[in-house]
Structure 1
Amino acid sequence: MARLELRNVNKRYGSGLPDTLKSIELAIDSGEFLILVGPSGCGKSTLMNCIAGLEEISGGEILVDGVDISGMSPKDRDIAMVFQSYALYPTMSVRDNIAFGLKIRKLPQAAIDEEVARVARLLQIEHLLGRKPAQLSGGQQQRVAMGRALARRPRIYLFDEPLSNLDAKLRVEMRTEIKLMHQRLKTTTVYVTHDQIEAMTLGDKVAVMKDGIVQQFGTPQQIYNDPANQFVASFIGSPPMNFIPAPLVRQEGRMMALLDSGQERCAVPVTAGEEWLGREVILGIRPEQIIQGTAQGNGMPGITAQVEVTEPTGPDLLVFVTLNGTKVCCRLAPDVSCQIGDSLRLQLDPARVLLFDAGTGERLDRAAVAPQHEHVA
C-alpha cells in the first residue's frame, strides 16, 4: 500500500498542440480507492497511463510515498495494471497467466505456486487454473486478469475500465467482487470508468474529469450533494439532475426562482447574490428531490403540472412534466397513481435546489471554501 500524489501534472503530445492533461492535482492516502470518471476523451485513461509509466508526463510530479517516480520506467514503479481488454496470453493456462510476472522476477517455484494458490482462492477461480483463456467466460477472464495483477503484490493497482466489455448483470456482480476484494486487501487503487454508477459505488474518492481538467475531487457524497458546476451535476446521478431556466425575483423579502407549469406558477426560495436579481439562472434539482404534493402541505413550495410521460422502473415511477418550457423528470414512489394527461401536484425541497450561471455553468450558491485537494475548473 502507498500514498499517491499528483502535483500539477500536464501532458502534451506535440509542440503547438493543446495540453491533454492540464494541471492535475490529486492525492489519495494509502489503501484508498480513487475513481477517475468522465466522458470519452476527457483524459482519464491518459492520466492512468502516466501513473503507470506507459506515457511520459510533460510537466509536474507523480509521487508515491513522497518519492517522485515520474522518471522511472514502468517496471521500477511497482504498479500493476488491469486493462480493459484483459490482455491474457491465449496459449497459456490460467495458472501460467497468473504466474507469468512472478516467473519473470525469478521467484522460487514453491513461492510462485503458493502465490497462485492464494490469488485463485481469493478470486474463487481454483477450478479454472488448468483452462486456457478461450475456455473462459468474460467474467472469468476478468478475474484472471485481476489475479495476475494481485499476484505481484504491488504498492498500487490500476484498473482501466475493466468491466466495460461485460454484460450488465455480470458488470454488477464484478463490481461487487472488486469492492469486496478492496475491503479485504486494503490496496491503494486507481480505477478509470465512464460509468457514474461505478464511480458512486466503488470509490472512496472521485475525480470528475472533462477536457483534461479535474472539475471536482472529493468523496462520492460531496460530488453528488455539492457539485462544483453544472457539468459535474449532470454527469453524476441517474436519472440525471433536472436543469430548469428560471428568472430570479424578490418576493416577501427573499430571493425567489419562478416556475411555471402552464397550469400554475410557484416561487422557490433560493440563495444568490443581489447582482442576480432579475436575471435568468439555471435551477438544478434531482428527480428524487421532487415529491408528490400532499393535501395538507408541508411548507415546501408546490406546483400542479400535467403528466406527459410515465416510466415504471419497478422500485420507482419516473414521471415527466414541463416546467418553464423544460422537460422535468420526477422520481416518485412506485405506487403513485397517475396517467398521461393527469394533473399532478408536485413539491420541491428548497434546501436541495442548486443554482448555476446560465452562461458558464458554475455554481452560484456554493460555499467559497472547497473540500481539501479539490480543483474546480
Structure 2
Amino acid sequence: MASLNITNVEKSFGHTHILKGINMDIQDGEFIILVGPSGCGKSTLMNCIAGLEDVTGGQICIEDHDITGVLPKDRDIAMVFQSYALYPNMNVRKNISFALEIRKLPKAEIEREVERVAKLLQIEHLLDRKPGQLSGGQRQRVAMGRALARHPKIYLFDEPLSNLDAKLRVEMRTEIKKLHQRLGTTIVYVTHDQIEAMTLADRIAVMKDGHIQQFGTPQEVYDNPANRFVAGFMGSPSMNFIDTELVNHEGQVCVKLLVMDQLHYLPTPSSERGLLERVGQKVVLGIRPEQITHVIPHYASNPSTFIVKAKIDVIEPTGPDTLVLVKMNEQEVNCRVEPHEAGKPGETMSLMINMSKTVFFDPITGERL
C-alpha cells in the first residue's frame, strides 16, 4: 500500500493538450475513481501514473519518491486492463505465475501465491483452463489475480468491467469492493460509468477536457456539485436544470416556477444566502428527481417542501420507483415517485418539491452560485 501524489501533471500529444495541470493527493489505502466522458483524459492520466506515457510536465510521487521518469517495471504498480490482456496459450495458473517466474521467485513461493490469489478470487477450479475456455467474468478475475499476485504498492484498473454484460458488471463491482475491503490496497480506477463510481469510490475525481472539475466523496459530488457539468454527469437520471429568475417575494429570495399556468414562488434554501445579490437575474435551478415526488403527508409540513399540481406527460416504470415527466417553466422535468402513486399520461397529480437540496448555477458559465 502507498500514497500517490500527482502535482501539476500535463500531457500533450504534439499540439494537442490532453492533461492540463492535474493535482491529486491520494491517501494510503484509498479507492479513487477517475470518471468522465470519453476523451476527458482519464485513461491518459492512468497511463502516465503507470509510466506507459511520459508526462509533458509536473511530478508523480509514490510515498514521497519521485517516479516521474522511472520505467514502468520499476514503479511497483500493477494494472488491470479493459481487454484482460491474458496470454491465450497459457492456462490460468501460468497466466498468474508468469510475472513471478520472470522475477525468479522460488517455485514453492510462486505456487503458494497462485493458490492464495485463486482462493481469494474463487477461481481455484479454473487454474488448468486456458482463457478461451473462460467467460468474460472469469477472464476478468484471472486478470485481477495476475495483478494481485505481484503485491504492488498501487493497483490501476482501466475500465475493467466495460466488456461485461450488465448483470455481470454489477456482480464484479461487488467483488472488487469486497477485494478492496479485505486487502486495504491503494486503487486508482478509471470508468465512464458514474454508477460504478458512486458505488465503489472513497473519492471521485470528475474529469472534463483534461481538467479535474471536482474531487470529493461520492456524496459530496452528488449533493454539492461544483458546477453544472458535474451535476449533470453524476446521477441517473440526471439532475433537472430549470431556467428561472430570482425574485424578492414577501421578504424572501424565491424562484419563479410556472406549472400548468399557475405561477409559484418557491423560497431558496437559507444556506444559499449569496443569491440575494442575484435577485432580478436569470439563474439555473438544479434539483434531483428524488426531490420532486408524490405528496408524503409527514414530509409535506416541512417548511422546505411545497406542493404543486402538474400534468403528467410520460411515465417510466423502473421497478422500485417510477419516473414521471412533467413540465415546469415550459421545460421537461423528471420526478421520482413510488409506483403505486404514479398516475397516467394526461392526468394531473400533486407533486411535493423539496427546496432544501436545490443548487443554483450561472446560466452562462455553468458555475455553481
TM range (shorter): over 0.9
Matches of 2:42 and 2:88 in 1, distance apart?
28
Query: Which residue is 1:320 aligned to?
Result: 325
SS in 1 for 2:17: coil
Matches of 2:290 and 2:11 in 1, distance apart?
39
Letter in 1 for 2:8: N
Q: Provide Cα deviations, 1:154-204, integer angstroms capped at 9, x if missing partner.
A: 000000000000000000000000000000000000000000011000000
CA RMSD across the alignment: 1.2
Identify which of 25, 37, 58 aligns with 1:60: 58
Query: Which residue is 2:362 aligned to?
Result: 357
Query: Which residue is 1:288 aligned to?
Result: 290
Is the counterpart of residue 3 in structure 1 residue 8 in structure 2? no
Matches of 1:19 and 1:340 in 2, distance apart?
48
Identify which of 230, 240, 243 aligns with 1:242: 240
TM-score scaled by length of structure 2: 0.96
TM-score scaled by length of structure 1: 0.94
Matches of 2:342 and 2:351 in 1, distance apart?
13
Q: Provide Cα deviations, 1:53-81, integer angstroms capped at 9, x if missing partner.
A: 00000111101001110010000000000
Matches within 5 A, 1:191-340: 191-270=189-268, 271=272, 272-293=274-295, 297-298=300-301, 299=303, 300-340=305-345
Which stretch of structure 1 is more off in the superposition, 352-361 or 273-282? 273-282
SS in 2 for 1:20: strand
Q: Structure 1 residue 322: deviation in Å? A: 0.4
Query: Which residue is 1:25 aligned to?
Result: 23
SS in 1 for 2:340: coil
Percent of pairs identical after alignment? 61
Letter in 2 for 1:192: V
Q: Structure 1 residue 255: deviation in Å? A: 1.1
Matches of 2:175 and 2:88 in 1, distance apart?
24
Matches of 2:280 and 2:4 in 1, distance apart?
47
Unaligned 5+ runs, structure 2: none
SS in 2 for 1:222: helix
Matches of 2:168 and 2:108 in 1, distance apart?
34
Do the aligned partners of 2:322 and 2:342 also contact (CA within 8 Å) in 1?
no
Count matched residues. Answer: 362
Query: Which residue is 1:375 aligned to?
Result: none
SS in 2 for 1:301: strand
